Amino acid sequence: MVDKTIKPSEITPESVYLNRRNFIRAGLLAGTSLATALTYRFFNPPPPTEVVTGTIENVRPGLDAITGEMPNTFEEITNYNNFYEFSTDKASVAREARDFVTRPWTVEVSGLVNKPRTFDIEELLRFDQEERVYRFRCVEAWSMVIPWIGFPLKALLEQVEPLSTAKYVAFETLYDPRQMQSSFSAGIDFPYVEGLRMDEAMHPLTILATGLYGKQMPNQNGAPIRLVVPWKYGFKSIKSIVKIKLTDSEPPTTWNIAVPEWYGFYSNVNPDVNPVRWSQATERRIGEIKMRETLLFNGYADEVAHMYAGMDLKKYF
């Protein structure tokens, strides 16, 4: 994405940590060359990568006008990405993920369920697909509005019949070292893992997204199927899922493993909770210059706040 209005400091805050780890790992030289590379990339952004992907038929409008805000362009959504398996540089993910092989693809659903089952992607694409236009807020303090296509995670979970002992849902991304960079280069552990509490997973706003803008999911956005939880920071919305497991204890999550004092399990969007050393009070919508006020639960408080009633949001961040 060609955007010279963002300061380098706003581009990759998550890699501030990465920087730190690289310093420890490879010494000052590695850190300096990373900074040089990031500076170079800032002044010489690569041209946007064209996306070639099929269309999705029979999408019905779902929970319509959920934002009433103007969606970001397809080019913005597909050329400014976080997908560390391919690149830690948001403008390069599209190019690095261009040849990502997503067929055949299966998602194994297991754990505390009556009917464990492996779904192939063709079956998942046969779930009733709807459009969901959601705000999307990254913890790096940028946001977008994205017209996703997908179906409620609840619809999938109901097919496997969760046991009453299931309290959490754990998710795992594919890790294929032949197609993806090493955990060492990315600075975080792979496979990327995430999790939700059962009520969050069953919430009607929580979807498994199979596409956007009427097209099948572009590789860089998490093809062929990814989670979208619009009231939480973007890193909860795990991409390219291959495993879903219902558990009775809180599953480990990638950014919490990496920097536990910054990234909690809940990670609900909250302008007043700033565990990370930059403020969450404001955000920049990609394509805009002026900062916006961050909305509690990313503007979905009416729908989701009840799930956290009585919880200390500063403690359970």
Ligand X SMILES: Nc1nc2c(c(=O)[nH]1)N[C@H]1C(S)=C(S)[C@@H](COP(=O)(O)O)O[C@H]1N2
Determine, following the binding rule CB under 6 A, whether residue 234 of this chain makes contact with ligand X.
Answer: yes
Tokens 């913005």 correspond to 76
In whole angstroms, give the CA distance from residue 7 to residue 24.
Answer: 25
Determine, following the binding rule CB under 6 A, whether residue 173 of this chain makes contact with ligand X.
Answer: yes
Determine, following the binding rule CB under 6 A, whether residue 284 of this chain makes contact with ligand X.
Answer: no
Q: Which is nearer to ligand X, 235 or 300 (CB)?
A: 235
User: b or e along 159-185 (b: 16 or more beta carbons within 10 Å of the residue's beta carbon)?
Assistant: ebebeeebebbbbbbbbeeebbeebee
Determine, following the binding rule CB under 6 A, whether residue 81 of this chain makes contact with ligand X.
Answer: yes
Determine, following the binding rule CB under 6 A, whether residue 268 of this chain makes contact with ligand X.
Answer: no
Determine, following the binding rule CB under 6 A, whether residue 138 of this chain makes contact with ligand X.
Answer: yes
In whole angstroms, give the CA distance from residue 118 to residue 106.
Answer: 6
Determine, following the binding rule CB under 6 A, whether residue 221 of this chain makes contact with ligand X.
Answer: yes
Determine, following the binding rule CB under 6 A, whether residue 119 of this chain makes contact with ligand X.
Answer: no
Determine, following the binding rule CB under 5 A, whether residue 235 of this chain makes contact with Mo ion.
Answer: yes
CB of 14 to Mo ion, least distance (A): 6
CB of 297 to ligand X, least distance (A): 17
Strand order in the sheet with 241-247: 117-120, 106-111, 241-247, 168-173, 193-197
CB of 29 to ligand X, least distance (A): 26
Determine, following the binding rule CB under 5 A, whether residue 84 of this chain makes contact with Mo ion.
Answer: no
In whole angstroms, give the CA distance from residue 79 to residue 94.
Answer: 6
Question: Beta partners for 261?
Answer: none
In whole angstroms, give the CA distance from residue 171 to residue 279.
Answer: 28
Residue whose Cβ sits closest to ligand X: 234
- Are the C-beta atoms of 212 and 73 separated by less than 8 Å? no
Determine, following the binding rule CB under 6 A, whether residue 213 of this chain makes contact with ligand X.
Answer: no
Pair of tokens at residue 20: 């730190």
- Are the C-beta atoms of 161 and 202 separated by less than 8 Å? no
CB of 81 to ligand X, least distance (A): 3
CB of 69 to Mo ion, least distance (A): 19
Tokens 């170079």 correspond to 40
Tokens 């464990």 correspond to 116
**Contacted entry of ligand X, Mo ion, none for residue 131, CB cut-off 5 to 8 Å set by kind:** none
CB of 125 to Mo ion, least distance (A): 26
Residues 181-200 that bind Mo ion (CB under 5 A): none
Cis peptide before 251 (omega within 30 of 0): no
Of 16-24, 40-48, 51-59, 82-90, the segment contacting ligand X by CB under 6 A is 82-90
Of 103-111, 115-123, 163-171, 232-240, the segment contacting ligand X by CB under 6 A is 232-240
Q: Which residues bind ligand X (CB under 6 A)?
A: 81-85, 138, 173, 192, 221-222, 234-235, 237-240
Q: Which residues bind Mo ion (CB under 5 A)?
A: 82, 138, 234-235
